[in-house]
Structure 1
Amino acid sequence: MKELHKNKTLVWTLFIAFAAVLLGVLRARTLVPPDEGRYAEMAREMFASGDWITTRLNGIKYFEKPPLQTWMNALTFEVFGLGDWQARLWTGLCGLLGVGLTGYAGMRVFGARIGFYAALVLGSSLYWVICSQVNSVDMSLSAMMTIALCALLVAQRDDATPSEQRNWMLLCWAGMALSVLAKGLIGLVLPGGVLVFYTLFSRDWKIWTRLHLVKGLLLFFLIAAPWFVLVGLKNPEQPHFFFIHEHFDRFLKKEHHREAAWYVFFVLLAVGSLPWVGVLVQGLVLGARGERGGQDAPARFKPRLMLLVWTAFIILFFTKSNSKLPGYIVPVFPAVAMLIANYLDVGTRRSRMLTAALTALFGAGLLGFVPFMLRLARHPGEDLLYAAYQPWVLAAGLVLLIGGALSMLYARQMQRDLTVLVLAIAGFAGTQLLLAGFEPIGKVRAGTNLMPALAAAGATDPATRVYSVGIYEQSLTYYLKRTVTLVDYWDEFTFGLEQQPQLSIPTIPAFVQQWRADAAAGVRSVAITRPEIAADLQRQGVPLRIVAADARRTVIATQ
C-alpha cells in the first residue's frame, strides 16, 4: 500500500498546485449578482471615498454586514487595482486558508494521514470549492470560524503544552473576533453554543478552565470592538439596526422573505459534500463514538465529538431560523471534512468503494442531464447560453465518472491514499469545469453585455445622470464604476434611504417629471429598467430612445 501522506514533496506539490488553480481561475468569470456585485461595489466605493468606517452600497449607508469583507476587497483594490479577480482574491485566500488549517489541525490532533485526507476532502468538496470562488461574505466568515475551530482543537488536545494551549487559544479568540467582523454576533454565538453543548455531552467541565478567558476576552474586544464604536459614533442609527434588526428580527421574523423548508440545510450538506457523500453519515456517526487517550485510557478532550457538535449545532441553529440562505452552513464543512477523514482512515473498503461508485454515478447523472439543460432557460433567447454550457457539464460528468471508476479500482486494491487522492482530484476538477463553463450565463445575469451601449450613451461619464428604475443591477453598477439614482426601488436599501431619502426618487411619476426636465434642459440622462417599465414609458409618450436591451433589462436614454 502506497503511503502517499508520508511523501512531503508530494503533499506540498499538491497544495501548491491546488492554490495555483484555485487562485488562477478567479479571473475566469464575470461577477455574478447579487452577492458578487454587491460586495465588489461596496469595496469600490470604500476604495474611491477613503471612508473605511461607514460602509455604503450605491452611495447609500449599508449596515447589513460588518466591514471585514469590504475592507479586504478594498485593500485588494488599493494594491492591485479594480478587476474581477481582485474582487475575489480575499475569498479565494479564505478558501485556501481553510484547507490549509483543516489539514494542519487534522495532522496535529489525529495524525498525518488524517490531516492529509482532511485537506483533500475539504479542498474537493463541491460547496467549499464553489464558495471559495464567489465574492461573498459567507466564505469570509467560514475561514475566520475555521481559525477558531482549528485553533481550539490544537489547543485542547491532550498532549498540548501550557504555552501551546495559551497561544492557540488566543488564536481561537482572535478567530472569533474576526468572525464577528465578518458577519456579526454569530461569530461568537455559534462557537459559544458549540462549547456549551460539547461540555454537556462530554462532561468535560474543566475545558472552561483551559480557555484562557481573561486574556482571550481582552484580545477579542481589542479586535472586534473598535469598528463598532467608531461606526456607532459616526452613525447613531447603526447599532439598533445592526444588532436588533439584522440579528434578532432576521432570526425570528419572516419579513426578509428568506424562508425555506426545514430540511434544506441537510440537503445542502449532502450535495455540498460531493464527492464524499458516500461516507458522510459514517463520518458523523464516528464523531459520536468514544475516543481513547494514551495506553487505552479515556481521552480528556474528545475532538471528534467537538467536530460533531460543531456540525450539528450550526445546522440545527439555522434550521430554526426564519431566514435560510444556502451560505449559512459553509462553516460546517471543515469540521465535516475532518470527520470524513477520520472515517476514511478506519472505515471499510466497501465504504470507500461505495463513495467512489456514487461519484461515478453522479458523473453519469450529469451526462444524462446534458440533453435537458435547455429547459433551464427562463428568459427568451437564453437557451443558447445553456447550449454553450452543455460541453462544460459534459466534461465535468466525464471527469467525475472516470475519476469515480478509477478510485473504485484503487479502493478494491486496498490503495487507501490513492483512492482518496484520485477522488479528490476528480471532485475538484469537475467543480472547476462547472464553474468555468457558467461564464456566458453569468455575463447575461450581470448585464455586462450592455456595457458597450451604456458607454456609448455616456453612462460612464460622471456628467451623465444614470437612473435605475424599479430595479437595481448589483454587478452592472460595479462595472459602470459609479453610483446610480434609484427610482421606485427599496428592498435592502430601505433603512439607508430612510436616513438619506434625497438619494433616490420614490415613485416612477416623480422620475418621469425629472426625466422630462432633463430632456428639456439638454441634460444627458440614461436609465436602466425592466422591459415592461420601458414599454409603459413609451406608451406615456416620455421622450426616450432605447439604446440596448436584453431579456432581463432595457437601457433608455434622453433623445
Structure 2
Amino acid sequence: MKINKPLLVFGLSLLLFLFWAQAFPVTDSVESNYALTAKEMVTSADWISPRIYGKFWYDKPVMIYWLLALAMKAFGYAELAVRLVPALAGAGGVALIYWFVAKVRNERTGLLAAVLLATSLQYLIIAKLIITDSLLFTLNAAALACFYLGYINHRGAARRWYLLSYPCLGLAVLTKGPVGVLLPGLVILIFLAWRKRWSALRKMRLGVGLLLFSAVALPWYGLMYARHGQAFLDTFFGIHNFLRATVSEHPRDNVIYYYPLLFVASTLPWTGVCFAGLGEGWRQCRKWDDLSSFLLIWAGVFVVFYSLMATKYPTYTFPILFPVIVLTACYLENRWEQKDFRFGWLMGGGLLLWYATLVFVGGRYLNGVLLAVYVILNVICLSAIMFGCGRFTGSKRFLPLAAGVIAGYLLFAALVVPPFGSDRSGKELARMLASYAHYQIGAFQFYSTAAVYYGGHRLTMLETGADIHHFRQHTFSWYAKYTMPVATVPEFLAGPGKLKMIIVKRSGWPRFKAETSGVASLEKVGQNAEYLFYRVRAI
C-alpha cells in the first residue's frame, strides 16, 4: 500500500502538538477571549456575530471562532477540544512545507524542512495556543506556495495553481482581516518587480481570482455591516486595525531590535543554521535564483511591515518561519550533498541553548523533587544525543539531534506547561467560585476571562473612581477594546442582587481597603495563595 507522505507528516505533527494538551488550561488574557467568544457562539446559536460577556465583539474576523465553536460542539469545552484547532492548523503548516519543498526540491529536503519547522521553538508554542496565528500561518503560506508553483509552471498547470491561491487569501482575510491579503499581495508584487515578470499578472487570471477571493472573504463582512453598521467598521477596522498600526499598545516593546531578538529565540534550536540558510539564500538571490529571491522577499516584507507598525507582538512575524525554514533546509541539503559538515557546531550550540532554555523556564515553575527529576531527565536526554551523534556520521547526525529536540519538548510539555498554564489561568478561580453561584461577584482591579469561560459566572471588574473614566470614554483609544462589565465599588454595591462578593489579589489589598473604607463592610470568606474573598454589603 502506498503511503500518503504529506498525510503521514500531518498525523505525526498533530500528535506532537496535542501531546499533554488536556493538562494545559485556557490562559488569560488572550486565549480566554477566543475560547469564551466561541463558547458564546455555541450557546447563543448565533454563528455570524461574535460576542463576549453577552456583548457583540469586533476584535477578530469569524474564522477562528467558527472552528473553535465546531470543536466545542463536537467534543465539549475541555482543553483538548479547544487546543485541537491550533494543533490542526499547525500540523497543516508542517505538511504544507513538506509538500511544497518536495515539489520545488526533493522529498528528503521536504522532510528536513518539516522536521525543522515542527521543532522550532515558536512553532511548537503557537501550535498549542488558542490564537489566530497558527491558522493564518498556514493559509498565507498556502496562498504564496500556490502562487510560486503557478509562477514556475506553464499554461494549464500554472493557471490552476494561481486560482488555488485566491480562496486561501480569502480564508486568511476571514482569519485576521486585511493583512491576510495585503502582505501576501505585497510579496507577490515585489517579487514580480524584482524578476521583471509583470507578464505573470495576465496568467494569474485576476478577474476570476478576485471573484473567488470575494466569494470566500466578503459575505461575512457584508452580513456584519448589515447587522451592526458603523459600529462594526469603527471598531474592527478603526481600533483593531488602524489604531494597532499607529498607536503602540505596548510602548516598551516599540524598539527597532524587537523582531531581530525575537527571531533568535523563535528559531531555537536551529537559530545558527537559520542564519546560515539566510546567508546562502542571499548569495543565491544575487545569482537571480527564483526560489531564494521569492523566499527572501516573503520574509523581508513581513519583517519590514511589522517593524514599521507602532504595535509589536511576538506573533506578528511568525509567518516568516515558513520561508526561513525552506531556505535553511535547502542550505543543509546542499552542504550534505557536498560532504561539508562544518555547520555542525551551529547545531550543537543551538541544542545546548535549547536545553538551557527549557531547564531555565522549568526552574520557574517546578521545585523540590520534581525540579530535580526534570533536570536529571534533561541531562540524560542531552547525554543520549551526544552519544548518538558520536555513533552516526555525516547527515545521519541530524537524527539524534532532532530526536533530542522532540524529547526535550515532550518533557517540557508534560512537566512544565501544566503549572505554567495554571499560573496564568482562572480555572482554579472558577472552581473556588462554584460555591457562590447565587452571588454577584466583583474582581477588584483585575479580570479573569478564563474564570468566566470555565465557571460560567460573569464577573464585574471593579475600578477606582479615579480610573473608571478610562473604561467609559468613547474615544479612539485602547480602552475601547475592553468589553467586560466595569463598575466602581459603590456602583457594584448599589446594583441588583443582595448577595455580593469581591475578589481581591493579595497585592491589591491596601488599595482595596482604602477604596472600601466607609463604603462597605467586609467579611473574609475564603483565600488562597493569590486571592482574598470578601462578602460585602453597603454601609
Q: Distance in 1 between matches of 2:7 and 2:219?
A: 38
Q: Distance in 1 between matches of 2:95 and 2:122?
A: 17
**2:265 aligns to what?**
271
Counterpart of 1:359 (choices 350, 353, 368) is 350
Question: How much does 1:72 deviate?
Answer: 0.7
Structure 2 CA distance for partners of 1:341 and 1:505, relative to 1, 3 Å: closer
Counterpart of 1:68 (choices 53, 63, 67) is 63
Counterpart of 1:34 (choices 29, 32, 39) is 29
Question: How much does 1:401 deviate?
Answer: 5.9
Question: How much does 1:402 deviate?
Answer: 4.1
Counterpart of 2:76 (choices 49, 64, 81) is 81
Counterpart of 1:215 (choices 205, 208, 212) is 208
Q: Distance in 2 between matches of 1:492 and 1:143?
A: 36
Residue pair 2:147, 2:162 contacting (<8 A) in 1 also: yes
**2:436 aligns to what?**
457
**1:105 aligns to what?**
100
Q: Please, what is the CA RMSD of the aligned residues?
A: 3.3
The aligned amino acid for 1:356 is M
Counterpart of 1:176 (choices 154, 164, 169) is 169
Gap runs ≥5 in structure 1: 1-6, 293-297, 377-382
Task: Kindly indicate whether residue 445 of structure 2 is the aligned counterpart of residue 473 of structure 1.
Answer: no
The aligned amino acid for 2:388 is L
1:361-414 Cα offsets, whole Å, 9 max, x none, are 2156348848xx76x5xxxxxx7669855644664465356436634763xx22
Residue pair 1:275, 1:423 contacting (<8 A) in 2 also: no
What are the within-5 Å matches in structure 2 for residues 138-153 of structure 1? 138-153=133-148
**2:334 aligns to what?**
346
**1:59 aligns to what?**
54
Residue pair 1:103, 1:118 contacting (<8 A) in 2 also: yes
Question: How much does 1:31 deviate?
Answer: 1.3
The aligned amino acid for 1:445 is R
Q: Secondary structure at the match of 1:165?
A: helix
Task: Kindly indicate whether residue 500 of structure 2 is the aligned counterpart of residue 506 of structure 1.
Answer: no
The aligned amino acid for 1:468 is A
The aligned amino acid for 1:334 is F
Q: Distance in 2 between matches of 1:503 and 1:35?
A: 14
The aligned amino acid for 1:184 is G
**1:132 aligns to what?**
127
Task: Kindly indicate whether residue 302 of structure 2 is the aligned counterpart of residue 307 of structure 1.
Answer: no
TM-score by length of 1: 0.84
Residue pair 1:467, 1:484 contacting (<8 A) in 2 also: yes
Structure 2 CA distance for partners of 1:422 and 1:84, relative to 1, 3 Å: same
Task: Kindly indicate whether residue 242 of structure 2 is the aligned counterpart of residue 244 of structure 1.
Answer: no
Q: Distance in 2 between matches of 1:34 and 1:209?
A: 46
Q: Secondary structure at the match of 2:316?
A: helix
Q: Distance in 1 between matches of 2:360 and 2:480?
A: 49
1:177-224 Cα offsets, whole Å, 9 max, x none, are 111111111111110111122123222322322322111111111111
Q: Secondary structure at the match of 1:467?
A: strand
Residue pair 2:355, 2:408 contacting (<8 A) in 1 also: no
Structure 2 CA distance for partners of 1:265 and 1:27, relative to 1, 3 Å: same
Residue pair 1:454, 1:555 contacting (<8 A) in 2 also: no
Gap runs ≥5 in structure 2: none
Q: Distance in 1 between matches of 2:489 and 2:8?
A: 59
**2:248 aligns to what?**
254
Residue pair 2:10, 2:91 contacting (<8 A) in 1 also: no
Q: Secondary structure at the match of 1:205?
A: coil
The aligned amino acid for 2:310 is N
Structure 2 CA distance for partners of 1:362 and 1:441, relative to 1, 3 Å: same
1:496-523 Cα offsets, whole Å, 9 max, x none, are 9999999734323322333xx74xxxx3
What are the within-5 Å matches in structure 2 for residues 322-337 of structure 1? 322-337=310-325
Deviates more, 1:338-347 or 1:534-543: 534-543
Question: How much does 1:87 deviate?
Answer: 1.0
Residue pair 2:273, 2:347 contacting (<8 A) in 1 also: no
Structure 2 CA distance for partners of 1:368 and 1:124, relative to 1, 3 Å: closer
Q: Secondary structure at the match of 1:543?
A: strand
Q: Secondary structure at the match of 1:46?
A: helix
1:317-374 Cα offsets, whole Å, 9 max, x none, are 111111001011111111111111100111263344123311342156348848xx76
Structure 2 CA distance for partners of 1:318 and 1:427, relative to 1, 3 Å: same
Question: How much does 1:97 deviate?
Answer: 0.2
TM-score by length of 2: 0.87
Deviates more, 1:502-511 or 1:279-288: 502-511
Task: Kindly indicate whether residue 385 of structure 2 is the aligned counterpart of residue 406 of structure 1.
Answer: no
Question: How much does 1:82 deviate?
Answer: 1.2
Q: Distance in 2 between matches of 1:24 and 1:110?
A: 31
Structure 2 CA distance for partners of 1:100 and 1:9, relative to 1, 3 Å: closer
Deviates more, 1:344-353 or 1:13-22: 13-22
Q: Secondary structure at the match of 1:429?
A: helix
Question: How much does 1:273 deviate?
Answer: 1.2
Q: Percentage identity across aligned positions?
A: 25
Deviates more, 1:336-345 or 1:20-29: 20-29
Aligned length: 522
1:3-48 Cα offsets, whole Å, 9 max, x none, are xxxx969987665433323234321211122222111111111111
Residue pair 2:7, 2:95 contacting (<8 A) in 1 also: no
**2:188 aligns to what?**
195
Question: How much does 1:252 deviate?
Answer: 1.7
Residue pair 1:258, 1:322 contacting (<8 A) in 2 also: no
